């Protein structure tokens, strides 16, 4: 399919990537598509860093997509994200504006950048029944007939071996569908700070959100509106630990300390994911986060 252009701005949490993206959009007649797995939920604003006031620059409202698109408490996954991204992206193409993908959810970023459609593989009951009578050796041979094995992780456990056959068979039968996803010609930029500075920014931001932005009250309001507390815990980080605090499962000092540690750990996992992307062939142009905002935007414009 025809290659299409996209500017990507990624980074760990608390690196200010959204601010860079919206200011770039203001300069180049752009629209921002979020790549954040929790900003899709309505009412989950403070805890996800969904500061919509950032999308107004010099009096201009910057169009944004894939924020506030599903109800809090519902489920949303990478398959739905890939479909919703494509709808937003094609709309931007038709308007002849510039698409900027911005976020830190590595799985969502790669769902767009890898260039093939991710499919939610349904269970195949009939296939599973036909495989149950086969030996592990026969199952492994069948899997090898469907795909090239680069490692043996799928063959360690019998149920994983059967599931891998199920997935591979479905992908083989739906190869045309998988490969119909448009190839995106992406230029990727990453906002980076020294680890010690990111840690300071995370802790400072957390204190501010708790004291000044009503993050606890936000979670309280979601529960009062009928969102299941267990579902909020499922969303992790702020929503998990603040919910535990509100349910009196932990006290406030424990909530803050555990949350601070959890966000630092989350940031490290993001950094690890981005390094893996680079090892897998994605070229990320890293920008020093300490650089003034205008210089960051100018640098990205020059490289586009």
pLDDT at position 168 is 86
Q: What is the pLDDT of residues 166-193, one digit of tens each?
A: 988 888 888 877 777 888 899 999 999 9
Q: What is the pLDDT of residues 240-284, one digit of tens each?
A: 999 999 999 999 999 999 999 999 999 999 999 999 999 999 999
pLDDT at position 149 is 64
pLDDT at position 116 is 79
Question: pTM of the full predicted structure?
Answer: 0.84
Which value, in Å, is the radius of gyration of the alpha carbons in the chain?
A: 22
pLDDT at position 96 is 95
Angle at CA 107, nearest 5°, toward 104 and 110?
95
What are the contacts of 47-56 at 24+ separation with CB within 8 A? 47/209, 47/215, 47/218, 47/219, 47/237, 47/238, 47/239, 47/242, 48/238, 49/13, 49/18, 51/18, 54/18, 54/19, 54/22, 55/22
d(Cα 201, Cα 178) in Å, to the nearest integer? 40
**Residue ranges of the chain with pLDDT lower than 50?**
1-3, 150-155
């Amino acid at each position: 399919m025809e290659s299409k252009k996209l500017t990507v701005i990624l980074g760990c949490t608390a690196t200010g990537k959204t601010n860079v993206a919206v200011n770039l959009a203001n300069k180049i007649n752009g629209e921002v598509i979020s790549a954040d797995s929790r900003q899709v939920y309505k009412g989950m604003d403070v805890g996800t860093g969904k500061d919509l006031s950032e999308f107004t620059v010099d009096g201009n409202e910057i169009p944004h997509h894939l924020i506030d698109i599903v109800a809090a408490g519902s489920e949303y996954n990478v398959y739905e994200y890939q479909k919703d991204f494509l709808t937003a992206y094609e709309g931007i193409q038709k308007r002849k504006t510039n698409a900027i993908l911005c976020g830190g959810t590595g799985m969502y970023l790669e769902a767009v950048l890898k260039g093939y459609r991710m499919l939610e593989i349904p269970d195949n009951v009939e296939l599973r029944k036909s495989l149950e009578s086969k030996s592990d050796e026969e199952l492994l041979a069948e899997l090898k007939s469907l795909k090239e094995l680069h490692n043996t992780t799928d063959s360690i456990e019998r149920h994983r071996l059967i599931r891998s056959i199920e997935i591979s068979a479905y992908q083989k039968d739906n190869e045309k569908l998988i490969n119909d996803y448009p190839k995106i010609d992406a230029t990727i930029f990453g906002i980076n700070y020294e680890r010690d500075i990111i840690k300071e920014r995370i802790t400072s931001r957390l204190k501010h959100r708790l004291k000044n932005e009503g993050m606890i009250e936000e979670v309280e309001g979601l529960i009062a509106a009928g969102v299941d507390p267990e579902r909020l815990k499922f969303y992790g980080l702020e929503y998990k630990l603040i919910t535990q605090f509100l349910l009196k499962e932990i006290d406030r000092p424990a909530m803050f300390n555990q949350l601070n540690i959890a966000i630092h750990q989350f940031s490290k996992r993001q950094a690890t994911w981005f390094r893996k992307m680079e090892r897998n062939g994605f070229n990320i142009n890293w920008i020093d986060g300490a650089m003034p905002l205008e210089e960051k935007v100018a640098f990205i414009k020059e490289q586009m």
